[in-house]
């Protein structure tokens, strides 16, 4: 039986009707119509589905929609805009990271949460924070460059 749930997504409120236990990813994608996050593995292992719930990165493919009710959910679309991108989004463009772009949402969302907590991270800290995320295009070195650039930009005051 479907349950009506109200979600706070990207600064707005959306009501969805989903079956009990429906993953948040499906509510965001199928019910609300967001293009990101993406379905990757369905097991919380690849990270393509990562969103922020109350500022923390969460794998939405294994998080029940009911667990996100009443909490602030941020997706890639709510992180920044084309006119004012988040520093990680801007750094991804500047470093020409995306190839296919399928996994980008998860990497950016994870990196944004990490950089909010960790200023001036080392390569080792970046690798550790991003462990478990998958990119089949192999842009890992460009991703690390982009995150270092974003950290530097954030330290200089272009904080989103």
Domain residue extents for the chain? 2-79, 87-155
User: Hey, how many other C-beta atoms are within 10 angstroms of the C-beta on 81?
Assistant: 11
Instruction: Give the CA count within 13 Å in the CB-facing half-sphere of 136.
Output: 8
What's the pLDDT score for residue 100? 84
What superfamily does domain 2-79 belong to in CATH? Beta-grasp domain (3.10.20.30)
Reading the block at residue 5, the tokens are: 């749930």
What does the alpha-carbon distance between residue 100 and residue 112 come to, in Å, rounded to a whole number?
20
Query: Does pTM top 0.85 for this prediction?
Result: yes
User: Hey, how many other C-beta atoms are within 10 angstroms of the C-beta on 141?
Assistant: 10
What's the pLDDT score for residue 128? 96
What's the pLDDT score for residue 158? 57
Reading the block at residue 140, the tokens are: 């890992």
Given 3-state DSSP classes, what are the helix, strand and coil percentages for the chain, each rounded to the nearest 5? 40, 20, 45
The reply to whether 2-79 and 87-155 are identical in fold is: no
N- to C-terminal Cα separation, the chain: 40
The radius of gyration of the chain's CA atoms, rounded to the nearest angstrom, is 15
160 residues of the chain, pLDDT tens digit each: 899 999 999 999 999 999 999 999 999 999 999 999 999 999 999 999 999 999 999 999 999 999 999 999 999 999 999 999 999 999 999 999 988 888 899 999 999 999 999 999 999 999 999 999 998 888 889 999 999 999 999 998 755 4
What's the pLDDT score for residue 84? 94
CA distances from 13 to 95, 117, 160 (A): 34, 27, 21
CB 49 within 8 A of CB 39: yes
Spacing of C-alpha 14 from chain mean position = 19
What superfamily does domain 87-155 belong to in CATH? [2Fe-2S]-binding domain (1.10.150.120)
């Amino acid at each position: 039986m479907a349950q009506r749930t109200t979600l706070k997504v990207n600064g707005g409120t959306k009501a969805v009707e989903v079956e009990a236990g429906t993953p948040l990813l499906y509510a965001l994608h199928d019910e609300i119509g967001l293009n990101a996050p993406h379905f990757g593995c369905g097991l919380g292992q690849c990270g393509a589905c990562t969103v922020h719930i109350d500022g923390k990165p969460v794998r939405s493919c294994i998080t029940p929609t009911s667990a996100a009710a009443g909490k602030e959910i941020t997706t890639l679309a709510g992180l920044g805009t084309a006119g004012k991108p988040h520093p990680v989004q801007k750094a991804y463009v500047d470093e020409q990271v995306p190839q296919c772009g399928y996994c980008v949402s998860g990497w950016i969302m994870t990196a944004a949460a990490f950089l909010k907590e960790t200023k001036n991270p080392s390569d080792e800290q970046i690798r550790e924070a991003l462990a478990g995320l998958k990119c089949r295009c192999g842009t890992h070195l460009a991703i690390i460059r982009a995150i270092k650039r974003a950290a530097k930009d954030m330290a200089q005051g272009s904080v989103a």
